[in-house]
Amino acid sequence: MHDRSPVNVPADLLDGWLGPDLTDPDKVRELVAAVPEPRLVPRPVGKAVGPVRNNGRELVEPVET
């Protein structure tokens, strides 16, 4: 997982996501599970994704692992 992976958080869940006191792993799992569909599905991509100077549709094409 890239450390800048996006999450689509609905407005009604923002307070929980931005709360600095949320550190309990079980509560974090509950918050992640509360995000409605569509959820983003992680997939392996090439190393070209890393440098921010790279841009293009080919960057999101899955690669063999």
Quote the pLDDT of residue 3: 60
Q: Give the pLDDT confidence score for residue 2 in this predicted structure.
A: 54
Q: Quote the CA–CA distance of 50 and 33 in Å, as a whole number.
A: 28
Tens digits of per-residue pLDDT, 8-47?
Answer: 888 998 898 888 898 899 998 998 889 888 777 778 889 9
Q: Are 44 and 61 in contact (CB under 8 A)?
A: no
What sign results for the dihedral spanned by CA atoms 46, 48, 49, 55? Answer: negative
